[in-house]
Amino acid sequence: MSEAAALRAPSLKTESKLEQLYAQGHFIVTGELGPPQHSDGHDLEHHAHELKDIVDAFNLTDNQTAIVRLSSIAAGVHVLKGGGVPIIQMTCRDRNRIAMQSDLLGAYSLGICDVLCLSGDHQSFGNHPTGKNVYDVDSIQLISMVKKMRDDKQFLSSAPIKAHEPRFFIGAVENPFGDPFEFRVTRLEKKINAGADFIQTQAIFDLEKFARFMEMAVARGLHQRAKITAGILPVRALRALQYMQNDVAGMEIPDSIIQRMKKAVEGKDKAEAKAAGEKEGIQIAIEMCNELKKIPGVAGIHIMPVGWEAALPEIVKGAGFLPRPKA
């Protein structure tokens, strides 16, 4: 960090490397790792070690799609062991306010400085569909609770945290494409008002609509109050794109992308189609990155490879995001 940049950087709220990089004005690149459905964290540590110079931090999902997995906090420790920076996800679905605050204290005590607050996929999607959801607090209340613990040194009950308050850099998510579209920026503003320091969006395929979303966010000055990171989901199969277009609420896949992938794989045998789909999926992701970084107000890219970690280096390199900065 240059002396001039140091003078420009605002005082930091936390010891988060992610906050430091944002404050220095860098365009951030984060990735995502899905904890396994077993108790071995070796692969997480391995991926973190292999990719720590490719992305600035790693999201660790919290029982993604309501399927039982290694906890995001334990996964975060494995990422730390691999030399990476973990962003733990915490959902409202599985814990009440007592358990959430306890887990936050525990995560911070283990060296985790970044948390992403979200509602969580409904349990009916997962492998325990009859399980009881919790939702003692919603995602906006969760953000506010983490901020209260950090800034006011108080638990949600207003009981004091007498020492060693958890000083998290607080993240939230937003879907720019949900209905009603005009309400999405208002919901984003509510999360920022509650205390979100950075935002990760859901996967973007419709650049035109996302640009309209960002135009509204910038008009309200929200990009100056929180760092907005645009989500990228590399897809390597035509069927996956078609499924998201037809069956996933809040996901908008333009027909042009469907046709592009179809053209890449049609007429090929299974092995050739797989290789062609992966190549085209990476190229689409690279092009999306190049377009997203031009949109005013976008402070970074969040890449969600969903079990395709090998795609991360190719996308990051292809989009010209290497080398990554050092805090």
Instruction: Outline where the chain has alpha helix (H).
Output: 3-8, 17-23, 42-51, 72-81, 97-109, 139-147, 183-194, 207-219, 222-225, 238-247, 255-265, 270-292, 311-318
pLDDT above 60: residue 223: yes
Q: Average model confidence (pLDDT) for the chain?
A: 94
> Cα–Cα distance between 206 and 188 in angstroms, integer?
19
How confident is the model at residue 307, as a pLDDT? 86
| Largest interatomic CA distance in the chain | 67
Evaluate whether residue 250 is within a structural domain. Answer: no
Tell me the Ramachandran region of residue 83: left when phi exceeds 0, alpha when psi lies from -120 to 50, beta otherwise: left
Beta bridge partners of 90: 117
Evaluate whether residue 253 is within a structural domain. Answer: no
Domain count, the chain: 1
pLDDT above 90: residue 3: no
Evaluate whether residue 277 is within a structural domain. Answer: no
Q: What is the DSSP string of 272-325?
A: HHHHHHHHHHHHHHHHHHHHHTTSTTEEEEEE--SS-TTHHHHHHHHTT-PSPP
Evaluate whether residue 283 is within a structural domain. Answer: no
Q: What percent of the chain has pLDDT over 70?
A: 97
pLDDT band (50, 70, 90) for residue 8:
very low
Domain that holds residue 105: 12-235+295-314
pLDDT band (50, 70, 90) for residue 10:
low
Evaluate whether residue 260 is within a structural domain. Answer: no
How confident is the model at residue 247, as a pLDDT? 84
pLDDT above 70: residue 4: no
Which of 105, 20, 30, 104 lies closest to 60, judged by CA? 30
pLDDT tens-digit readout, 256-277: 999 999 999 999 999 999 999 9
pLDDT above 60: residue 6: no
String of b and e for 175-192 (b: at least 16 CB within 10 Å)? bbbeeeeeebbeebbebb
Evaluate whether residue 218 is within a structural domain. Answer: yes
Evaluate whether residue 59 is within a structural domain. Answer: yes
Beta bridge partners of 28: 300
CATH number of the domain encompassing residue 222: 3.20.20.220
Evaluate whether residue 20 is within a structural domain. Answer: yes
